[in-house]
Structure 1
């Protein structure tokens, strides 16, 4: 790959299949973020601004990640990822349409929202790891970091457009119609998947034996260079990445804003995420363990600062930086894990990544929701930031200990031969 090629941030879009998929995902993801804003606003309206109720919805949506994501990764490694994604998006659209109908007819209550959140979580347990692994089939291995960064970028674009549009539509049309728009947005991904050319996918040969979850866990357990990033994303995901819960509480209970101002908070956070995503498009190789750790420390410090923001403008500025730091950290971890994994295990490895990142959210959401209910929304940001800082410091200590053992000749190096194979794009059989 030439220096000129590396300098082009949109180079993966030169691949037709990835271009089709990205276009569909922008529309669908924008609808999803509209749904997030509408759903959170609906729950707060139905429950009198209850942080516990909002935490319950978040927990129900992500609890299936704890139970089924590893099996979703097994399905991704065993079956056609394109077919799985088609089915998942059609089902998600149907679920969204059912909830929208309930809201428009005036029959929706907290119970209906809880059921929808749980059912959507069941679908996402398969869709998320499958989608992440499918990116590796859309582009050659040399373009995988760029494609992954662009995926984060278009999700950040959606996170900017979606909440902004939701804030306007909530005021003009109401919650139910925002949900209708989300339901039909899934068709964009369905159309894109139908337009993808299967003969141009970069697929690896599937193993001849059984595809088992336990084999993927054993693979990760034997890779110390993967275990520390997994531990970091677990600690930070538990308390530091609950913005779906903390942002609406910050808007309503700290700054006492309306729906449009809430949309502005979310949009500014997403704009920071988008900026960081574009910065990571220049990445061409596996990030170092040091980079992952430093990005975690920066994120923790910024999130804690949001909790101490004295004014709404100060909170906006800090949320922009925090959004950027969160995506930069998440992308660094994602690239370190994905580019260090054998393609034969990638679906299960990314399922474990999804499980750790999003599956820890139910426990964190309940704890953070209770903390915000009893101590205020500011405390949720401060504690989340300090917990993230602690996780980064613990990772530094672990790395220092491993380096000392390696120098003494008591242990293997951080990067294994399998990781070196992935840097060159050559997977072991």
Structure 2
């Protein structure tokens, strides 16, 4: 890689080191939480519809509060918002773990606590996404993304498999407890990140004016709204067909809970290996390659829809992991190189809002659809639709032709007022 020095160059920045370690600790728990929560719900209520309700309870507050999260981050400072939301996430996750471990959990408990966790996540995600350009020089953004991705993806290889093992041996509550404690540790590490708060504006425009400004930027930036609109449907398909029906299909076939954990780990192996390869590759057209790659996200649904076999599901998930890593890097480069820093958290909040807005619909409708048409046929159709929608996004020239920014800028230690 010719730009920005070696791949480890971002680690020379003290703020980046603590930020990276905080994210790594948080990811160590969250890689286990998804598998654990799915089987915790199925233990309380053996129903795909019930699982969809709990997942929707997490997703709906994310949709509602994402825009507020972007404004909070750009107004009060991204590190402060991340610390506060981590504390709230820890409280909700540890409460859920205690109920599951004690055997007193009821479906409504999980719904309420999942909603609280989703609220915290919504407020914190735009802050986390917008913080990186303040920590490293702009020329090192690709290296910084990969420094974060490699160890996180390594954890994602082990997390789902370990979580599946815990579910089988001692129950799903312990994995949720680990995730809760990692929020606490991540918050302590974030306290070492020293970023000056945003400078106060002489005439603060107010929340609504900030949101209007962000909306204007979104609608006037073609590549941004086209990809966001595409992911509104893609994420609804994934959250409904793969994340909701996948554990149900596993429990009904020879795949089992442990096998489902291995499938998720195979996806993470794809993340990890691809992130290592991308260290040597410069994505000159980040969205072109990103959208081609993300189309492989339909492969696990197609494979499991045709025949729920562990090996086929794992291989397809591995391919999906590669595609997801390529797109993730391409999207972050496009956002962080082309969006002005003072607009970045709001742009990410609209990105996340559009990408997540249809997720609850997918989660709530997939169970009834599977009850009528069968789990496997719904999975197969969902996978084919996913791949088709991803490739259709390339009809936009703005998406196909977006290139990297070649100018080198300093570390943005103080947001533009």
TM-score, reference length from structure 1: 0.85
Partners of 2:3 and 2:344 lie apart in 1 by 29
Residue 327 of structure 1 aligns with which residue? Answer: 325
Residue 424 of structure 1 aligns with which residue? Answer: 407
Partners of 1:327 and 1:110 lie apart in 2 by 34
Note the alpha carbon deviations across 1:46-79, whole angstroms, 9 max, x for none: 112x111111111110111221101111111111
Q: Structure 1 residues 151, 356: closer, same or farther in 2, change over 3 A?
A: farther
Partners of 1:339 and 1:313 lie apart in 2 by 39
1:216-231 matched pairs, under 5 angstroms: 216-231=214-229
1:12-31 matched pairs, under 5 angstroms: 12-31=10-29
Report if the CA contact (8 A) 1:286-1:336 is conserved: no
Give 1:306 deviation, angstroms. 4.2
Residue 291 of structure 1 aligns with which residue? Answer: 289
Note the alpha carbon deviations across 1:113-144, whole angstroms, 9 max, x for none: 11111111111111111111112222121122
Q: Structure 1 residues 329, 285: closer, same or farther in 2, change over 3 A?
A: closer
1:32-43 matched pairs, under 5 angstroms: 32-43=30-41
Residue 313 of structure 1 aligns with which residue? Answer: 311
SS of residue paired to 1:321: helix
Decide which moves more: 36-45 or 225-234.
Answer: 225-234
Q: Structure 1 residues 96, 345: closer, same or farther in 2, change over 3 A?
A: same
For structure 1, the 5+ residue unaligned runs are: 404-412
Partners of 2:376 and 2:328 lie apart in 1 by 23
* Structure 1 vs Structure 2 CA RMSD: 2.9
Residue 264 of structure 2 aligns with which residue? Answer: 266
Give 1:285 deviation, angstroms. 6.2
TM-score, reference length from structure 2: 0.87
Q: 1:69 aligns with which of 56, 66, 74?
A: 66
Report if the CA contact (8 A) 1:167-1:260 is conserved: yes
Q: Structure 1 residues 340, 424: closer, same or farther in 2, change over 3 A?
A: same
Partners of 1:79 and 1:286 lie apart in 2 by 34
Note the alpha carbon deviations across 1:154-209, whole angstroms, 9 max, x for none: 4423322322222233334323333222221112211211222336xxx8867554
Q: Structure 1 residues 150, 373: closer, same or farther in 2, change over 3 A?
A: farther
For structure 2, the 5+ residue unaligned runs are: none
Report if the CA contact (8 A) 1:10-1:150 is conserved: yes
Partners of 2:56 and 2:73 lie apart in 1 by 24
Give 1:20 deviation, angstroms. 1.7
Residue 250 of structure 1 aligns with which residue? Answer: 249
Q: 1:131 aligns with which of 120, 128, 151?
A: 128
SS of residue paired to 2:338: coil
Decide which moves more: 89-98 or 388-397.
Answer: 388-397
Report if the CA contact (8 A) 2:249-2:308 is conserved: no
Residue 233 of structure 2 aligns with which residue? Answer: 235
Partners of 2:375 and 2:200 lie apart in 1 by 48
Report if the CA contact (8 A) 2:85-2:123 is conserved: yes
Structure 2 residue 359 is matched with structure 1 residue 361: yes
Q: How many matched pairs?
A: 407
Q: Structure 1 residues 283, 335: closer, same or farther in 2, change over 3 A?
A: farther
Note the alpha carbon deviations across 1:341-395, whole angstroms, 9 max, x for none: 1111000011112222333321222233333333333334323322223323432
Decide which moves more: 301-310 or 235-244.
Answer: 301-310
Report if the CA contact (8 A) 2:255-2:309 is conserved: no
Q: Structure 1 residues 281, 348: closer, same or farther in 2, change over 3 A?
A: farther
1:25-424 matched pairs, under 5 angstroms: 25-48=23-46, 50-198=47-195, 208=202, 209-210=204-205, 212-240=210-238, 242=240, 243-257=242-256, 259-282=257-280, 287-300=285-298, 303-309=301-307, 311-399=309-397, 423-424=406-407
